[in-house]
Amino acid sequence: MKRKFNIITKALAALILLGTITLTSCKKDEVQGPKGDTGAAGADGAANIQNYNITINPADWSWYSLYKEWNYPYYVDASSNSAIMAYSISGDGEEVLPYLSQIYGTTLSFSSYLFSSSSRILFKYYNGTTTLARPTGSYYIRLVIIPPAMIKPGVDLTNYKAVKEAYHLK
């Protein structure tokens, strides 16, 4: 019995020794080379900025008799301190709202109601006449929503090209 115990003990000791040698002999010393130059700074990101186009068709407008104007509510995902710009896309480019058509005597404007439950912006149309007809054409709007932490001072928000360049919009 004693002999059997010695064989098991020797075999177990041999396995432990083999395991120790295997684990320690394969470890390489890590050599660190010299530190490289710092890379170039990347462009400011625009991942959290919402920038998209919407179309308001004539049938989308609702009559609001209190102010005698046509309204189109549009719900957005924005915090109460976000900067919201709406630009009318026309043949001349993008003009910030309110947009006044000198030729047709119409005004397109918007206001924002940013509450925690349902944030929306309200587009308003007034045609400047006593007939108060519904808009007959579609309006193409470019919407830009910038979170409070990303607002840059000194950017001319009335100029879409300046906003596009400052915030790296597509």
74-132 pLDDT per residue, tens: 888 887 778 888 888 876 677 777 666 655 566 777 776 655 556 778 888 887 766 67
Mean pLDDT of the chain: 76
Work out the number of other CB atoms within 10 angstroms of the CB of residue 163. Answer: 24
DSSP 8-state secondary structure symbol assigned to residue 47: T
User: Which of the four pLDDT bands, split at 50, 70 and 90, describes residue 60?
Assistant: very high
Q: Residue 88, exposed/middle/buried by CB under 10 A (0-12, 13-18, 19+)?
A: buried
The SS3 call for residue 148 is helix
